[in-house]
Amino acid sequence: MDGLLFLSILTEPVCAVISFIISYYAYKGYRISSASKLFLLHLGFLLLGVSLLLRFITFGFLIALRISEPLFQALRSKVLLGGIVFSSLQLIAYVLFSVSYTSKAESFQENGKNLAILPGIYIIFFNPLLELISLTILGYVLARALILFIYKTEGNSLLVLLGFTCFFISHLFFLFATLGEALVFLGQMIQLLGYIFFLIMLTRVARSV
């Protein structure tokens, strides 16, 4: 398996763990402040974490099977359906982010042959149509985050803006994932950076409460 693709796959559980941590901090903030925006962030990042973890587990299961070409063809439709499910969970999360900003703007030979087809399976998790929808929703959220930053220039607003910017750019790379594994790798790295920005922001908020 290509080294870049292998690293891309490994970022998924890391992003999932960070997403769950962000969800926890957002829920903690919601319990203290009762701010609906924090509850929507909690649900959004919880769904993102679940989608990333499920995609990683599914692909790990496929690797464990050491699938053959006939089995790949038999599983192809199921993997495509799985990709749609995982991407749909991400879309729901992005819609929740959008609602939160809309509601309140301020705030060895044989094995080698078998493994050779695995990258193709992983890449079809990234559905171009759903990536376009994700980009549309994230574009709106990013615009709202930019407006918030302009009207409220401070560290946390900047971190939110940077986080959504990374999400938007990562989906641009995912949109063209079929052109090369390097695009998947770059998208995953930028997405991971976005999660880190959000984690820093929410830990700062938690400490200030």
Tens-place pLDDT, residues 66-90: 655 666 666 666 666 666 777 777 7
Quote the tokens at residue 132: 């376009």
Residue 39: domain span: 3-208
Residue 115 above 70 pLDDT?
no
Tokens of 72: 């790949």
pLDDT recorded at residue 114: 41
Q: Who wins on pLDDT, 98 or 169?
A: 169
Query: How many CA atoms lie within 13 Å of 204's alpha carbon, on the beta-carbon side?
Result: 13
The rounded distance, in Å, linking the Cα atoms of 164 and 50 is: 19
For the chain, what is the mean pLDDT?
A: 75
Summarize pLDDT for 85-96 with one digit per residue, the tens: 777 777 777 777
What gap in Å lies between CA 13 and CA 79, rounded to an integer?
Answer: 19
pLDDT at 162: 92
The total number of structural domains in the chain stands at 1
Name 94's Cβ contacts closer than 8 Å, sequence gap at least 6. Answer: 44, 134, 137, 138, 141
pLDDT in tens, 130-187: 778 888 888 888 898 888 888 877 788 888 899 999 999 988 888 887 777 788 888 8
Contact predicate 125/79, CB 8 Å: yes
Residue 72 is predicted with a pLDDT of 60
d(CA 9, CA 122): 8
Q: In which band, very low, low, confident or very high, does the pLDDT at 20 lie, cut at 50, 70 and 90?
A: confident
Q: Give the integer Cα–Cα distance in Å for 115 and 101.
A: 43
pTM as predicted: 0.68
Report how far residue 181's alpha carbon sits from residue 187's, in angstroms, rounded to the nearest whole number: 10
Confidence of residue 108 (pLDDT cuts 50, 70, 90): very low
